[in-house]
A and B are shown apart, each in its own frame.
Chain A
């Protein structure tokens, strides 16, 4: 299944992230619920590097949601901040790390660079 959260975690989240500040660090656990089953993914962020593992250990931030919600996040169809406000995902612990997690998920598909958009319709209220 392309664009799934698990695939995104393994392929895009694990590894080097020069776009993250070096000073950002911490541990997150993502709890992906599917029916009665919950899958735990553990992210360790340190010096622009993210390690991804399967583990149910305690973390500084725990993020819980249905697998489908994580899939939509991974596909850029749902915004982390909006998902939190909607209560589609719940968090416990250090909320700053949720803002970091936001940067490990993609933006919406088809978003344009401002130069591409320049000159197009954008004016008048």
Chain B
């Protein structure tokens, strides 16, 4: 049976336990305390008089705080429980757990409370099969401290556990022999520090300007400030408001301060992607501009700082390319994975330009556009100099790191994701269709930036001419006239990969689609092969590789759907956009909590309930952001000059929605919308 998992998160630090609060190694899930891509606790098990405890209740107070109320042994109605234990844990820069033992009897009682403590210092890349490591353990009973240390050459990671109450510390944990007064209580605070050793054995973060200031991560005040800066949603459907609030909280806790930068940026999400992913971060920013625009300048500046500078096969790096993954664990340090700075993505670089332009449209932050001129220009140059590998004017990808680089360097990054209707994989380098849409959009937007901010009208003209030629070429080469949609990809020789996929929505979003073809795409996206009642499947049913639980071969991704709905509205297919928004909102309303990264593609009438894939993360930045983007899309929020345009087209049953204090170049503005049924009612 699948164990229930409980997590607390603060940036890229997180702890995952079972329902009792215990942490034990599980090859199928990252259980333990993690920070900077290293597991610092793999064993954290509490016993009372040698017995494991059972949870009576649990209160997830916030993403960074949980409280477990426990009793010893198996719960039986015939046994009176005269002792209970409360574990109250929180995570910020360090992990903290207060353990309280309550004696409910009228007599004083003695107990032996033990916390078993251990760490395997596994890298997040090897959770399924952690390598054995030699761990040095130092137990110091006098000072109530236990130190676990792993060293490989100069690479050192340490876990320091301390207790406020005196106890006996040994190599495997801490034991407290306690006497609790009648109806009394006893408690201790266990504190766990994680150390990435730098100069002189001190934590390397301590010597960085970016990390020296007091971190406010994971505090109530930090969250409240974030919440106050975001718009307020007032809606007739209470479930919408709670989903909205949850999404904002998810986005707040899924931010971390990287080593190289002081501002916080989004991580991918729990549990597998608690690191910076360039694509996920930029899509999250695009989704959240009307809500939490502060994510974007930090993300753009960091990605500019980490922009590719050299040719490097192992890291799939080229000058101008924008990063796809950044990790700090042992595998990255020793080049066992290319993730110290990995660039294996073809879409991140055009997305960087798109995000910079879109951010300016909302914020009016011309200074940032000027500041980032050079990286944006390098990104645009990369597209033609390094991305167009066949010289036919299409952006393509082929990994040079054949050891452990990503096979598919696009958002559909599973190895079997790019296949035709019969399941055949195309040759490399591959030109997927959405890449061409992004390039088109990046050039159109780059032209605007060049003309309005970089004082370079000649370059603007050139980019516009290139974009126009790309659009013409694309509409000729990718269009499948018999099927009335665009091919998923082109092979190196120009042969189309004829699969029907949700990427059609990305094409609408990018604006590369000829308007007369929009209707056919909208019909496909909302037709029974692609739309399953919750959302648009990545890969349409009725094709041989279709698999409802295949991540990119049939499952439904909220982030994908947010872009699709926005694309549909861009081309005037408002009813179709509303249908998708309604489907995705019903996922979160049915499941409660955060919107998962992906759900299965089964037809909605078959399962009635959104089926989560085992590997799907939750919460995920770009899924939580998707909810906000869908809200912005059905309200029709759009910056126009210095004003906020509102053009609502709400799904039936959504009633009245008010989004108050939308931030932007206008200062703050309010947006109101009402569904059709409501509008008719008002007219009568």
Contacts and interface: CB of A to CB of B under 8 A. Distances in A.
Interface string A71-95: 0000010010110111110111111
Interface stretch (B288-296, B396-404, B636-644): B396-404
B407 A87 contact: no
Nearest to A62: B207
B319 interface: yes
A107 interface: yes
B184 to A, nearest CB: 48
Contacts of A57: none
Nearest to B389: A118
Interface in A1-40: 19-23
Contact of A112 (B309, B311, B391): B311
A88 B197 CA distance: 11
B153 A113 contact: no
Size bracket of the B interface:
35 or more
B207 A125 contact: no
A76 B310 CA distance: 10
B311 A85 contact: no
Contacts of A22: 374
Contacts of B306: 99
Contact of A91 (B208, B391, B425): B208
Contacts of B340: 79, 81-82, 85
A122 B399 contact: yes
Interface residues of A, number: 45
Given A90-B199, A91-B208, A85 B332 contact: yes
Contact of A111 (B313, B374, B415): B313
Contacts of B198: 87, 90-91
A91 B200 CA distance: 11
Interface centre among B318, B334, B398 (most CB of A within 10 A): B398
B629 interface: no
B contact patch SS: loop
Contact of B155 (A87, A103, A106): A87
B309 to A, nearest CB: 4
Given A82-B335, A91-B207, A124 B425 contact: yes
A122 B402 contact: yes
A115 B397 CA distance: 10
B295 to A, nearest CB: 19
B428 A23 contact: no
B156 interface: yes
Nearest to A22: B374
A70 to B, nearest CB: 15
Contacts of A91: 198-199, 204, 207-208
Nearest to B377: A21
A54 interface: no
Contacts of B386: 113-115
B310 A118 contact: no
B593 interface: no
A122 B428 contact: yes
Contacts of B145: none
A86 B155 contact: yes
Contacts of B378: 19
Given A92-B199, A118-B396, A119-B428, 9 more contacts: A79-B315, A86-B155, A87-B156, A92-B207, A106-B310, A122-B399, A123-B427, A123-B428, A124-B415
The 8 closest A-B pairs by CB, nearest first: A107-B310, A85-B333, A21-B374, A103-B309, A90-B199, A125-B415, A111-B311, A87-B154
28 contacts: A19-B319, A21-B304, A21-B373, A79-B340, A82-B332, A84-B259, A85-B155, A85-B328, A85-B332, A86-B153, A86-B155, A88-B154, A91-B198, A91-B199, A91-B207, A92-B199, A94-B210, A95-B261, A98-B260, A107-B311, A111-B400, A113-B311, A114-B387, A114-B429, A115-B386, A118-B389, A122-B400, A124-B407
Interface of B: 153-156, 197-199, 204, 207-210, 259-261, 304-306, 309-315, 317-319, 328-329, 332-335, 340-341, 371-375, 378, 386-387, 389-391, 396, 398-400, 402, 407, 415, 425, 427-429, 492
